[in-house]
Amino acid sequence: MSFWTPEFDRFAAPARTRPALWRFFAGLVLLVVVYIACLAGIFGLIALIGGESALIHWMQRVEQAAGPTATLILLATFGGVILGLWAALRLIHGRGLSTTLGPAGLGRRGFQRAALITAAGLVLSMALFLPRIEILPNLPWAIWASFLPLALCLIALQTGAEEMLFRGYLQQELATRFANPLVWMLLPSILFGLAHYDPGAAGEIAWMVALAAGLFGLLAADLTRRTGHIGAAWGMHFANNCFAILGISVQGTIPGLSLYTTELAISDAAEIAPLLWQDMAMTVLLYLAVRWAVAR
């Protein structure tokens, strides 16, 4: 079976215009520099307005996603990823940010179908598994609803930034330079998993959290390969994060905007580990359903 599809060939074509390997590494460096500058700008503004005490306070709250405002700031920082990616693509590679998306119409339909299928699957999953777990109220309905429109926009920003980076930029640029799909599909997925590795929060099962994220990354990479756009991967990612951030959160993750939380913390290995295996199985099932719907 050939992993190189006609759809992916068209998707990767913009990366062939300037294929020198040094451009890829220079682009990554510029992306990181711009992202760090954006973080410095956000927290520098906080320090300018409120002083050192406010800076320390909000840095801690954002790190812990403690409360709606801190969680919104955390999600907004992913705008720095998009700005960094735009700078790298424009200045180093001579192409636009939209080239990491794929065809707009196909991507939009793929996003919508994938988001609906993923949302339906997650509702079913919650109906099956949540009766075993005690659910606790987190935010009052009125407060939750007041933050909801902005929260949805920023979750779209956060998931879009990650998809443009991992399934767009990295997958395109690596595929242009390396024929082996173990490089251009697996490597970005490993990096995506490592980005979710947090032993400080998850303790001894941090590797399982990273594995679950890496599995999603690999399946999202395959959807991108099959469809020639990031729409389906983005739709799955968006729906999943909406449920995890806005619906029912696990303590120690991102609880600041969730309507409910659980009695469990992400570091409760004995209880969380079986749920993570179930989550990975559900991710595979959702991938198969989305693939059937958008890549037939």
pLDDT in tens, 173-223: 999 999 888 899 999 999 999 999 999 888 899 999 999 999 999 999 999
Question: Where do the domains of the chain lie?
Answer: 6-294
Strands 135-137 and 260-265: antiparallel
Contact between 223 and 291 (Cβ < 8 Å): yes
Q: What is the pLDDT of residue 37?
A: 96
Percentage of residues of the chain with pLDDT beyond 90: 71
Contact indicator for 35, 162 with CB cutoff of 8 Å: no
Assess contact for 252 and 265: CB atoms under 8 A: yes
Closest CA to 166 of 141, 197, 133, 193: 193
Share of the chain above pLDDT 70, in %: 98
What secondary structure letter does DSSP report for 131?
Answer: G
Which has more confidence, 2 or 274? 274
Q: How would residue 1 be classed by pLDDT, with cut points 50, 70 and 90?
A: very low
The encoded tokens of residue 101 equal 């998306």
Q: Going by DSSP bridges, is the β-strand pair 135-137/248-251 parallel, antiparallel, or unpaired? A: unpaired
Lowest-pLDDT choice from 129-138, 156-165, 242-251: 129-138
Among 52-56, 93-97, 230-234, 240-244, the minimum mean pLDDT is found in 52-56
Whole-number pLDDT of residue 2: 65
* pLDDT (mean) for 79-99: 97
Q: What does the pLDDT read at residue 131?
A: 64
> Tell me: the pLDDT tens digits for 238-294?
999 999 999 999 888 899 999 999 888 888 888 889 889 999 999 999 999 999 999
Give the pLDDT mean for 92-121: 95
Q: Give 13-42 pLDDT, tens digit per residue.
A: 999 999 889 999 999 999 999 999 999 999
pTM metric for this prediction: 0.94
Residue in the block written with tokens 């995890």: 244
| Residue 134 pLDDT greater than 70, yes or no | yes
pLDDT over 90 (residue 73):
yes
pLDDT at 230 over 50: yes
Calpha distance 167→145 (Å, rounded): 32
What pLDDT sits at residue 296? Answer: 67
What single letter denotes the amino acid at residue 143? I
CA atoms within 13 A on the CB side of 243: 17
Read off the pLDDT of each residue in 129-145 and give the average, rounded to a whole number.
85
